[in-house]
A and B are shown apart, each in its own frame.
Chain A
């Protein structure tokens, strides 16, 4: 979240945001077509290095943000490892049936999830939403009405956070008792979601009227920020291409897992 963290701007921040988004989308699709666990394990290094050394954020912050990824790795991998289909049984206990195929497939899924997570965090930590939306309008022709609404909506979030704290204090003071079971859920909705959402809806409505009062409409407009392409985009392209290339080559030449294709045959 760019509005709460302190960071130094690095070259990854200067990439064209729309290019970054499209490029990340392509990487994402490419990852879906990789079925060799050796390769995907190697690939993990590519976003990891960028994340650790080129985001300009403190290492401590990065580690905290990456902590849930371990949980994610395990939870994504586990169901396939324990319950996936396969012929070479390693271990069987009740419903749990670990086969060689399902184990590697689980591992593969875990690493793939890890890659998505790292790429996602890399994007989030190096992209200011305002630049992204300006770039989306100008490079990808996203209608300004949606893009500016998004930017305006992002502004409301910190206000809501403040209101959330006030609300919590107010409820504490009123001595609201927590209910049990499913009524706890409905209670949370009436006590927290309703006041916060209704306040935000009213605020959003007022902001929209104010925007129209500032003559925001579908007419021709100019732009304060004009994101362009730079040598950094090229650098990024080179880094990932070479990184992926090396990962593929190493994965093919020096495999460390027995399996090279995790798909069910």
Chain B
């Protein structure tokens, strides 16, 4: 199950597309966050979507981490207003998603696991926030609101929306390029 060159390239292409969206998402998020009530953090989930989408498409170990890291690098290279912090966030968010698919032995690619992957990425981002400092200095109710909104965002956008997108992509038949052939296909050679 090693990543082939085409797996890597496809993952990075998808990631870069999302990287551009990540960059555009910055001002959107800033607008959605008026006076810091953190309701806007629901849309934060967009920043985890590359990992789940790539993983659901390619179904190989390492893809979520690679995708989220590459998306963050892309976001950074086009001049993200969050600067280099996006790289570290990307890595840890990607790790979160990766971990969930790993827990299921890279065998289950359902909406449920995708949603868990999105939530895990949200947890990753919160860990970064804590390490970043000051987030613990928020009033408790405000902090809880932040955590809740973030997790819901991960669940909805990086989980369910990502799953919906990949399902729509599968209908176009493009996944036949990516997915490995089944044992039956190989057996048919000997018949």
Residues of A within 8 A of B (CB): 1, 24-25, 28, 32, 65, 68-69, 71-72, 74-75, 78-85, 95-97, 102, 105, 108-109, 113, 115-121, 123-125, 127, 129, 132, 145-146, 149-150, 152-154, 156-157, 160, 185-186, 189-190, 193-194, 196-198, 200-205, 207-209, 211-212, 216, 262-264
Query: Which residues from chain B contact A208 at a C-beta distance below 8 Å?
Result: 4-6, 8-10
Which of A28, A146, A201 gathers the greatest number of chain B CB atoms within 10 Å? A201
Q: For B86, what are the chain A residues with a Cβ–Cβ distance below 8 Å? A: 120
Q: A205 and B30: CB pair below 8 A?
A: no
Which of A32, A69, A80 is close to B81, meaning CB atoms less than 8 Å apart? A69
Is B174 among interface residues, defined by CB-CB distance under 8 A? yes
Q: Which residue in chain B gives the minimum CB-CB distance to A198? A: B174
Asked whether A85 lies within 8 Å of B16 as measured between CB atoms, the reply is no
- What 1/0 flags go to B1-32 for Cβ under 8 Å of A? 00011101110111111001000001101110
> Judging by beta carbons under 8 Å apart, are A209 and B6 in contact?
yes
A-side contacts of B52, CB under 8 Å: none
Cα–Cα, bound, A201→B80 (Å): 25
Q: Is the CB of B78 within 8 A of A124?
A: yes
In chain B between 80 and 116, which residues have their CB closer than 8 angstroms to a CB of chain A?
A: 80-87
**Which residues of A lie under 8 Å from residue B169 when comparing CB positions?**
194, 197-198, 201
Q: B84–A201 contact, CB under 8 A?
A: no
Given the contacts A153-B13, A156-B13, A201-B174, A120 and B164 also touching, CB distance less than 8 Å: no
A197 and B13 alpha carbons, distance in the complex (Å) = 9
**B residues touching A (Cβ–Cβ < 8 Å)?**
4-6, 8-10, 12-17, 20, 26-27, 29-31, 33-38, 57, 66, 70, 73, 76-87, 132-134, 136-139, 141-142, 161, 164-165, 168-169, 172, 174, 177-178
Give which listed residue, B8, B57, B79, B136, contacts A120 with CB less than 8 A. Answer: B79
Q: Which residues of chain A are within 8 angstroms of B133 by Cβ–Cβ distance?
A: 32, 263
Distance A222 CA – B80 CA, assembled complex (angstroms): 33
A1-B78 in contact (CB<8A)? yes
Shortest C-beta distance, B157 to chain A (Å), equals: 9
Which residue of the partner chain B has the closest CB to A193?
Answer: B165
Indicate if the CB atoms of B20 and A157 lie closer than 8 Å.
yes
Query: Is the pair A153, B79 in contact by a Cβ cutoff of 8 Å?
Result: no
Closest Cβ of chain B to A157, distance in Å, is: 6
B27 close to A68 (CB less than 8 A): yes
Find the residue from B12, B31, B81, B133 having the highest chain A CB count within 10 A.
Answer: B81
For residue B66, which residue of chain A has the nearest CB?
A146
Q: How far is the CA of A121 from the CA of B75 in the complex (A)?
A: 11
What's the Cα separation between A153 and B124 when bound, in Å?
A: 27
Contacts of B85 in A (CB 8 A): 28, 116
Q: A113-B82, A211-B5 are in contact. Are A85 and B139 (CB under 8 A)?
A: yes
With contacts A68-B30, A197-B169 known, is A189 near B137, CB below 8 A?
no
Residue from the set A123, A146, A153 with the largest chain B CB neighbour count within 10 Å: A153
Q: How far is the CB of B117 from chain A (nearest CB, A)?
A: 18
A120 touches B137 (CB 8 A): no
Taken together as a complex, chains A and B put the C-alpha atoms of A97 and B188 apart, in Å, by: 71
Q: Which residues of A contact B10 (CB under 8 A)?
A: 201, 204-205, 208
Q: Could you jot down 12 A-B contacts, CB within 8 Å?
A: A32-B132, A72-B27, A72-B30, A75-B30, A79-B35, A82-B36, A85-B138, A102-B137, A116-B82, A117-B81, A125-B79, A153-B16
Q: Bound state CA distance, A44 and B53, in angstroms?
A: 37
Q: A202-B174, A208-B10 are contacts. A120–B81 as well, Cβ < 8 Å?
A: yes
Interface pair A212/B137, CB less than 8 Å apart? no
Cβ of A153: which chain B residues have Cβ within 8 Å of it? 9, 12-13, 15-16, 70
Q: Which 9 pairs between the two chains have the least Cβ-Cβ distance?
A: A79-B36, A120-B83, A116-B83, A124-B79, A208-B6, A83-B142, A75-B30, A117-B81, A198-B174
* Across-interface contacts of B136 in A (CB, < 8 A): 264
A21 to B138, CA, bound (A): 32
Partner of B84, one of A28, A200, A264: A28
Task: Name the contact of A154 in the complex, choosing from B6, B16, B30, B141 (C-beta under 8 A).
Answer: B16
Known: A149-B12, A193-B165. A216 touches B79 (CB 8 A): no
Whether A127 lies near B132 (C-beta < 8 A) is no
